[in-house]
Structure 1
Amino acid sequence: MKRDIYLTADRFPLVRDIGCNRTDDWYSHPDRVLDYDVFLFVAEGGMQVIEEGIEYFVGANEHLFLKKRLHHWGRPETLPGTTWYWIHFTTIVDERIEYKRQLSIGPELEYYFSDHYQYALQLPKFGAAALHRTTEQRLQSMTESSRIQRAHRMTEISLQVYQFFLGLHQSAVNREKAAKSGKAEAHIGRIMTYLIRHAEEEFDAKGLSEYMNLNYSHLSATFSKITGQTIIEAHTRLRMNKALHLLRTTSLNISEISERLGFQNPFYFSRVFKKVLGESPSCYMNHLYR
């Protein structure tokens, strides 16, 4: 959507300025087109804003993101007594990178390379969030902190804002998951339970089908649709996490770990390890601190 704002996991937003306003009279939001993004949070009252012809009325404990280069303005409909916080920020995106959409369901690797951070996070455009009960306090603290002159002042504020925006993103994800919770989500949970229990074994589609008492093709299609990865990919990630744990915490060699995890032979184990993690088990072991 052209009105949505995305963060990337490999770069934090750069805050231009942050502050708080209050109006005691009827107020109109400025008519403008900006070269940076805007976050608004209404602590008290209500603010009217129009962005490219779409009208928003931001009530108390609600937020709105306004996207750069889109025309936004307001009529004199913002209520007297309205108090709001604002953050002006710039998102930095490397145009050479094709950022993926992150999906929060399913196992994550415990060992990250730089390309694992190349995914985008959609910020919730408008509304309330579960964390908004503490938002005013956090924004007030960040605003006051931004006024204290010190080294790395705005870098610190930008990192705090990034963490705050991540919380908004996760709040929206959790709300969406709760709204969609049902039979399919329950199936995903049971599949993950099975995969975790059998992470030290070769994947068994028939065993999973019998455990779930459902057709494997149906399970596979549902899992892929909701998590964005196949069941086999999820199982492989779990096995690689087990391998990483064994490499870090035991004196087992590669052959012993391969056998422990149910691989056909250590050469196949090494090939899977390198495909998933980008380097061989021996290379990984060379830079371990144990």
Structure 2
Amino acid sequence: MDRNIFLTADRFPLVRDIGRNRTEGLYTHPDRLLEYDVFLFVVEGSMQVIEEGIEYVVGENEHLFLKKGLHHWGKPETLLGTAWYWIHFTSPIDERIEYKHLSVVPELENYFSSHYQYVLQLPKFGAAALNHSTEDALKSMIESYRKKRTHRMTEISVQAYQLFLNLHQKAESREHANNKADAHVSRILEYLNSHAEEDFNSKQLSEHMSLNYSYISATFAKQTGQTVIEAHTRLRINKALHLMRTTSLNVSEISDQLGFQNPFYFTRVFKKILGEPPSSYMNHLYR
């Protein structure tokens, strides 16, 4: 049973309502089965919630996501004076789209509609709470919610997206910091980026990492879904896009600066990734 909730990059969650509560006595979380997701953030005390038989005790400055369609309830164990914020929202997932998981490889500096069709897993329970910045964001959302103005619900939904994205990024950074393979990927990307103006050299990368290249290649592909060479090529094209936007260099000069064998090879690589030759792409730019 999947208890996780996901964001997508191509749409934001739609907030139904939002509020803040404080218990005046011993409190029991409602027994219910909802058609929407729930976000809880406790600012004082602690709240006890059970979701499909798994118990959570959400402490101060901790959060919990409850997934739609899963039965959740509580016991009379939430103490007097417990205060929390809640958001009810509908999932942004479009079942007609086959979403992929986001890799750690930097994005190209160019628009592709398919690029936004990926999901981000939200941290289920409190370890990645952002403490006071979370409460500040929730206060701002409630203030917007109380103002009867045009587009307020859209504004709140965008704010909710930003809050949830921050929670995801915080959890992701902690997870990567404790993951040896992710640490290797970060070092590989740093190396590739610093050598994006030259042809890829597996021997030099292996020496830099003090690791066998077969291990480097397999680890990188497993963690990112791309080969090392693909990532290096994308970073080179990123450099090319930056030069196109910020300089008056022509295609041949950009090819030379990035260390390609010749402009024809550069054009072939560029077109393979972006779907059009560099000369055509440059015609779209304001220069």
Normalising TM by the smaller chain, what interval?
A: over 0.9
The CA deviation at 1:190 is 3.8
Q: Residues 178, 215 of structure 1: CA spacing in aligned structure 2 closer, same or farther, 3 A cutoff?
A: closer
TM-score computed with the length of structure 1 as normaliser: 0.92
Mapping for residues 186-225 of structure 1, pairs under 5 Å: 186-225=183-222
Equivalent residue, structure 1, for 2:286: 289
Aligned partners of 1:188 and 1:223 also within 8 Å: yes
Mapping for residues 1-290 of structure 1, pairs under 5 Å: 2-104=2-104, 106-129=105-128, 131-180=130-179, 182=180, 184-290=181-287
Distance 1:78 1:257 in 2: 64
Distance 2:46 2:210 in 1: 52
Give the alignment's Cα RMSD to 1 decimal.
1.8
Distance 2:182 2:141 in 1: 37
Task: Report which stretch shifted further, 186-195 or 228-237.
Answer: 186-195
SS of corresponding position for 2:80: coil
Aligned partners of 1:49 and 1:75 also within 8 Å: yes
Deviations 1:5-30 (A, max 9, x none): 00001100000000011111111111
Deviations 1:260-281 (A, max 9, x none): 2222333332222122223321
SS of corresponding position for 1:128: helix
Q: Residues 282, 96 of structure 1: CA spacing in aligned structure 2 closer, same or farther, 3 A cutoff?
A: farther
SS of corresponding position for 1:169: helix
Deviations 1:81-130 (A, max 9, x none): 111110000122222321111133x3321222111111100000011325
Q: Residues 74, 281 of structure 1: CA spacing in aligned structure 2 closer, same or farther, 3 A cutoff?
A: same
Task: Report which stretch shifted further, 196-205 or 154-163.
Answer: 196-205
Deviations 1:49-84 (A, max 9, x none): 111111111111111101011111111111111111
Query: What residue identity is the alignment partner of 1:118?
Result: Q
Query: What residue identity is the alignment partner of 1:132?
Result: N
Aligned partners of 1:61 and 1:128 also within 8 Å: no
Matched length: 287
Structure 2 gaps, min length 5: none
The CA deviation at 1:219 is 1.5
Q: Residues 109, 140 of structure 1: CA spacing in aligned structure 2 closer, same or farther, 3 A cutoff?
A: same
Query: What residue identity is the alignment partner of 2:200?
Result: F
Aligned partners of 1:100 and 1:118 also within 8 Å: yes
